[in-house]
Amino acid sequence: MPGTETEDMDQPDDSGELPGMLVEEYLEREAGVRALLDDLDRQALSGDHEGVRERIRGLAEENRSVFFTVALSLTGSAQFFGDVEAQLDVTAADRLRDLADTYPALAEPFSVVRNEQARDRRNPVTGLETTTSYHAEEALPLIRYTVKSGNVDLYEGCESPEEVLGVATQFVRSTTDALEAAMDDDFSVNTEELSNLIDRREELESELDRLRGQIDELRRRPIGDE
């Protein structure tokens, strides 16, 4: 599973437009946009994360220039602000920098929707919360988990270790199949993704070593021994 942080792409051209063109339309509508952001901020602080995300999707469909300007401003992208200064002026960049200071609660939902817009993915998974328990009658450890997309809970489950590993095996197999299909079609995998894949594989191998040790210890322990 991905880590708990959402992906932050520094490139300011997700919408296919130059930063100056994006920002000019935002500046023309700034008062109305900030009123919307004020409302979204109150809604986010009240805990209605799904509602906030849905309204941000509406903004992205209605006005992509304004949406990407706000989304890029909330990430605090130095490259984006530098491009705005070069194409417009410092004052315009400072007005955008103020968005990140004023609406920190909106950075996560805008980042997720930006990911959706750029990669055609709805509610991308950004993290997994887990707790463990034990069913004494069945002598069975249990894993309770919540799959999350930012602050939005996507799915809750409770499985045995064997069941969880069964799902994990399917995900690893699907990952290998996806990479194999890309290679067969002569498609490339971007450098960032490849680097992250290497890191995830190393983490997985480390966790499998720990798992192997735990299983070996259980096999040596007599049944019923507490």
pLDDT tens digit sequence for 77-109: 788 898 899 889 999 999 999 999 999 999 999
39, part of any domain: yes
40, part of any domain: yes
Contacts with 14 (C-beta within 8 Å, 6 or more apart), sequence order? 68, 71, 72, 114, 117, 118
Identity (one letter) of the amino acid at 72?
A: L
Query: Do 111 and 131 have their domain in common?
Result: no
DSSP, collapsed to helix, strand or coil, labels residue 183 as helix
Give the range of the structural domain holding residue 181, as residue numbers without chain letter. 127-220
- pTM for the model stands at 0.69
pLDDT score for 10: 36
| Number of helices (H), then strands (E), in the chain | 9, 3
Query: Do 114 and 135 have their domain in common?
Result: no
Query: Do 95 and 27 have their domain in common?
Result: yes
Residue with tokens 């069945």: 138
11, part of any domain: no
Query: Do 24 and 89 have their domain in common?
Result: yes
14, part of any domain: no
pLDDT tens digit sequence for 156-171: 999 999 999 999 999 9
78, part of any domain: yes
Q: How far is CA 44 from CA 52, 57, 107, 220, 221, in A?
A: 6, 15, 11, 51, 50
Looking at 66, 87, 119, which one is the last position of a domain? 119
Query: Do 155 and 215 have their domain in common?
Result: yes
CB 109 within 8 A of CB 115: no
Q: What percent of the chain has pLDDT over 70?
A: 90
The C-alpha angle with vertex 130 and arms to 128 and 134, in degrees rounded to 5, equals: 155
10, part of any domain: no
Query: Do 144 and 208 have their domain in common?
Result: yes
pLDDT tens digit sequence for 173-220: 999 999 999 999 899 999 989 999 999 999 999 999 999 999 999 998
